[in-house]
Amino acid sequence: MPQVPHPKLTHQKLIILDRDGVINHDSPDFIKSPEEWVPIPGSLEAIARLNQAGYRVVVASNQSGIARQLFDITTLNAIHAKMHRLALQVGADIDAVFFCPHAAADNCDCRKPKPGMFAEISKRYKVSLKGVPTVGDSLRDLQAGFISGCVPYLVLTGKGEKTHVTGGLPPGTSVFPDLAATVQDILKQPAAIAVAN
């Protein structure tokens, strides 16, 4: 018997965002507590605009601070609880957070630039990621999305300026000052990547 898609999924679009440096201010010392998680001005409001346009917003984030024992899962959950709470205050909804807790030395499949988290997102939402926008501030964010079929967007917040200067961006990468400007551009486009058609 064919599966009937969940009604909430029908005619929705998907976008995948990195967390640190895209939604919130990044730190070379990692974001290790809810107090250190501070949104970049306009980022949560941009997510609200995506929601209003029918986008389901998903976060994909490397969190090797767990492997480095700088913080634990409980603290990460508390950080994300703050992110969700502040998002809701401006009418924004982050549908899910996917994260990789491993260090580079672990050689896992989920740590960006490997595409494991993107494959999980594709599986969870039962949708191809071809044409799905992905926004990051580092090359590995964009590489993981690009090899998964996503359309890459670089923001100049976080590590973005350095990433832009270093170069080597995936073909077709668009560059914007921040998430708010990126979202403004995405919403001008007629793209319609439906989730669970």
DSSP letter at 24?
Answer: B
CB-CB contact of 64 with 104 (8 Å): yes
As annotated, the active-site residues are: 18, 20
- Reply yes or no: is the peptide bond before residue 152 cis, omega within 30 of 0: no
Angle made by CA atoms 17, 18, 21, in degrees to the nearest 5 = 125
CB-CB contact of 72 with 66 (8 Å): yes
Q: How far is CA 151 from the centre of its chain?
A: 13
C-alpha 182/C-alpha 169 separation (Å) is 16
Closest CA to 157 of 178, 173, 180: 178
Q: How far is CA 144 from the centre of its chain?
A: 11
Structure tokens at 72: 């634990």
Side-chain half-sphere CA neighbours of 194 within 13 A: 9
